[in-house]
Each structure stands twice: as structure tokens, then as C-alpha cells.
């Protein structure tokens, strides 16, 4: 008797679902999408088949990553040509991200557990923006409620009193860990706004012409490596650390009221070569790379060139160049091109941008401001298109 085996193959249809934006107006020129304890909009990326492409559209009038499928044939019919210059290559895009500042953490912490989860998902998870870069300040910043560093005990040369603060343990580390669970490809970039006041020439967290005292060059390098190691011991490996946030601020009298410390090419270069570089290399955090500058575009490319003029040795310690967006309106995007041609092996990465920073930008928080959204969009297109190769004709 023959036995007939029926093989039933079940084609389980994978249900791809995304939550739509539930719009809410706060009186500005566009809407926000509601994100609360039970609901948050999301988006699922679906790859199109050959000959098709998918368009995601957002608009002032209310679309939020609304997706539709289209065919290249329709483009042809409409006379639109898309040229891909495959032979011309620029640098790889490292990704997109945000910052784990004190204020971000304090605001997230003020929400209910489930709203926190939904909010973090909307930034880091598959159904969200999939941020894969996160900047984390070493100590306090202009997004802190007080000036502080991780060792504020005067003349603690052996760094015995170095310790994490409430801001680290309550507002940064927990959210960095949850974000990392949502996207295990999340890379953290650390930046210190200042050395402890006692290591500085002006004995202050901020102020005009505050520099690191030469006698503390090595101590400060050890301070930063302690930060890398302690975060690593908490499961948070730091991918990159910059030489310090906005070193030019210390040269603007009466402008800066928050943590800052000045560096020039002639001081930062020997510090990296003799202290920061070797101290990181000798530590258990030796895989952390160093980014130069961490300041505005107007420092390009002369600041980096001046570092190399001081000593070519710098080349082996610097992996990339970090820049900020303030005053981009006044300094051409060509400065990136010139930097890239002069230092093709050093990647360029924008590490800071925020709207509402100018004194005339009132109110500081504007929920649903399309105008502010557009500033980010324009900057991303301006900068990133340099590294893509699309030409629309």
C-alpha cells in the first residue's frame, strides 16, 4: 500500500504594519505626530521590486513619511532621468543620530515608562528612525542645569575622586543602554566641553581664554580615558571621542557662559600626540578612535592643516574630523570639499546641530515647527548630497 504524503506548504503572509501619524497642532506652522503611552506613529521600510521605487513623503500640510510605490517607466514617461555615477565615490555615510544630553535625559525621564519606550523606539528601533549615532557629553554642557565635570575636587591629581554624576547614572546611561538594545549598531561619540576647572589656566568651567595647564596635559588624558573605561564597564563602548567641544568658544569674550575650553592647533596637536593618543592606545579602550576639531565649518580646512603643519605624527591618531552647523549660512559647503581633498582618509562627520540656539530664536521649543524641520532637512541634503552621487535632470 502506497502511502501518500501530503506536503502542505503554508505561505504565511508577513504582515507589515506601520502606525500612521495622528496629527496634533500646537499652533505653529505644522503638526506633530502624537506619541503617548499607547500610540506612536512608525514606519516600515519596504524594499521595492526591480523596476520600482518607493517614495516617502513628508510635507508641511501634514504628510509624514507617507509611502507610495512607483515605476521607473512612469519616470521615463514623464521625461525624468536619474543618473547614478557609480564610478565617482565619496565617503561612506556613517549614519544619523542625536545626543544623550542631560536635558534630553531629564525630559525623557519625566514621561511614563511606556511613553519613554515608545519615544525611544521612534528614534532607535526598526519601526522608527533607526538612529545609529549617539553623542554623549563627558560632564556638563550647555544642555545641563549646572556646571560640573567628573572630578571637581581641586588638585585631585591622581583622579581618586573621579566619579560618575547623577546626570550620568540617571539621565545618560539608562537611555543609552535602552537605545543600544533597540539598535545594536548604535555608535557612541563622546565629547568633553571642558577639563575640570582646577586643571585650567582660569580656574573656571567657562570664560574667555581658559586653557588646559601644561602640567595637567597627561592628567586630563587620563580623565578622559577613565570616562571611556567606566562607560565601557557599564556595557557602553564608546566608538569615538573628540578632542573637545567647540575649542574656538574660549576666544570669544563674554559670549560663552557654559562649559568650554580653548585649544589651538599648536596646543591640541602635541596633547593628542603625547598624551591623549598614547593613553587611549595603552588602555583597554584602545579601539576608541579620535575625532579632531568638533567645531564650526569655518575652521576648515585651515585648523586641520595647521595641526599637520605642527606635526605629521598627528595623522596616526586622528580618524576623522567633526564639525557643527552653526554659521553654515555664512561659510560655503566647499570647505568640506577642500578638507576632503586635502585629507581623503579622514572622514567628515557632523556632530552637532540644533535650532533655537540663537538669542532671537524665541520660543526655545516650538512644537510642530515645519520651518525648523526644514533647517535640518536642508542641512542634511546640503551636506549629504556631497557624499551621494545623484544628479536629477
Ligand X SMILES: *[C@@H]1O[C@H](CO)[C@@H](O)[C@H](O)[C@H]1NC(C)=O
Judged by the rule CB under 6 A, the positions of this chain that interact with ligand X are 22, 34, 36-39, 204, 206-207, 257, 278-279, 281-282, 284, 286, 316
Q: Helix, strand, coil proportions of the chain in percent (round to 5)? A: 35, 20, 50
- Nearest approach, Cβ of 277 to ligand X (angstroms)? 6
Which is closer to ligand X, CB of 141 or CB of 279? Answer: 279
The yes-or-no answer on residue 167 being catalytic is: no
- DSSP for 256-273 reads --SS--B--HHHHHHHII
User: Which triple of cell numbers denotes residue 50?
Assistant: 526591480
Beta strands in 89-219 (DSSP E): 97-99, 133-138, 187-192
Residue 221 near residue 279, CB atoms below 8 Å: yes
- Nearest approach, Cβ of 307 to ligand X (angstroms)? 16
Q: CA Rg, the chain, in Å?
A: 24
User: Which triple of cell numbers denotes residue 263?
Assistant: 585649544
Which is closer to ligand X, CB of 280 or CB of 383? Answer: 280
User: Which triple of cell numbers denotes residue 180?
Assistant: 543600544
Pairwise CA distance, residues 61 & 65, whole Å: 12
- Nearest approach, Cβ of 207 to ligand X (angstroms)? 3
Determine which one of 229, 246, 254, 374 is catalytic: 246
Which is closer to ligand X, CB of 247 or CB of 301? Answer: 247
- Nearest approach, Cβ of 95 to ligand X (angstroms)? 24
DSSP letter at 154 equals T
The yes-or-no answer on residue 246 being catalytic is: yes
User: Which triple of cell numbers denotes residue 116?
Assistant: 519613554
Which is closer to ligand X, CB of 171 or CB of 216? Answer: 216
By annotation, the residues acting in catalysis are: 246, 352
Amino acid at each position: 500500500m502506497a502511502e501518500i504524503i501530503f506536503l502542505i506548504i503554508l505561505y504565511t503572509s508577513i504582515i507589515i504594519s506601520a502606525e500612521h501619524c495622528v496629527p496634533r497642532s500646537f499652533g505653529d506652522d505644522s503638526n506633530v505626530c502624537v506619541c503617548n503611552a499607547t500610540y506612536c506613529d512608525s514606519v516600515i521600510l519596504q524594499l521595492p521590486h526591480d523596476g520600482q521605487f518607493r517614495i516617502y513623503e513628508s510635507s508641511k500640510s501634514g504628510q509624514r513619511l507617507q509611502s507610495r510605490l512607483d515605476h521607473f517607466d512612469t519616470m521615463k514617461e514623464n521625461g525624468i532621468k536619474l543618473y547614478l555615477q557609480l564610478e565617482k565615490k565619496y565617503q561612506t555615510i556613517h549614519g544619523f543620530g542625536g545626543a544623550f544630553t542631560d536635558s534630553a535625559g531629564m525630559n525623557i525621564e519625566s514621561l511614563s515608562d511606556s511613553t519613554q519606550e515608545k519615544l525611544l523606539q521612534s528614534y532607535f528601533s526598526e519601526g522608527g528612525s533607526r538612529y545609529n549615532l549617539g553623542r554623549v557629553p563627558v560632564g556638563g554642557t550647555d544642555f545641563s542645569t549646572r556646571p560640573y565635570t567628573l572630578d571637581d575636587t581641586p588638585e585631585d591629581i591622581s583622579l581618586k575622586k573621579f566619579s560618575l554624576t547623577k546626570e550620568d547614572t540617571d539621565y545618560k546611561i539608562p537611555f543609552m543602554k535602552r537605545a543600544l538594545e533597540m539598535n545594536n549598531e548604535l555608535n557612541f561619540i563622546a565629547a568633553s566641553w571642558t577639563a575640570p576647572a582646577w586643571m585650567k589656566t582660569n580656574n573656571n568651567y567657562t570664560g574667555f581664554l581658559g586653557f588646559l595647564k601644561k602640567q595637567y596635559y597627561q592628567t586630563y588624558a587620563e580623565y578622559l580615558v577613565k570616562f571611556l573605561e567606566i562607560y565601557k564597564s557599564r556595557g557602553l563602548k564608546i566608538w569615538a571621542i573628540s578632542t573637545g567641544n567647540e575649542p574656538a568658544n574660549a576666544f570669544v569674550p563674554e559670549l560663552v557662559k557654559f562649559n568650554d575650553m580653548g585649544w589651538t592647533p599648536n596646543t591640541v596637536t602635541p596633547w593628542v600626540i603625547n598624551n591623549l593618543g598614547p593613553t587611549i592606545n595603552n588602555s583597554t579602550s584602545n579601539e576608541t578612535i579620535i575625532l579632531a576639531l568638533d567645531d564650526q565649518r569655518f575652521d576648515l580646512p585651515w585648523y586641520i592643516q595647521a595641526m599637520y603643519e605642527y606635526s605629521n605624527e598627528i595623522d596616526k591618531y586622528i580618524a576623522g574630523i567633526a564639525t557643527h552647523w552653526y554659521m553654515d549660512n555664512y561659510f560655503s559647503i566647499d570647505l568640506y570639499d577642500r578638507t576632503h581633498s586635502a585629507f581623503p582618509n579622514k572622514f567628515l562627520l557632523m556632530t552637532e546641530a540644533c535650532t533655537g540656539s540663537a538669542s532671537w530664536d524665541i520660543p526655545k521649543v516650538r512644537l510642530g515647527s515645519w520651518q525648523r524641520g526644514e533647517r535640518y532637512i536642508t542641512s542634511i541634503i546640503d551636506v549629504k548630497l556631497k557624499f551621494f552621487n545623484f544628479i536629477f535632470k
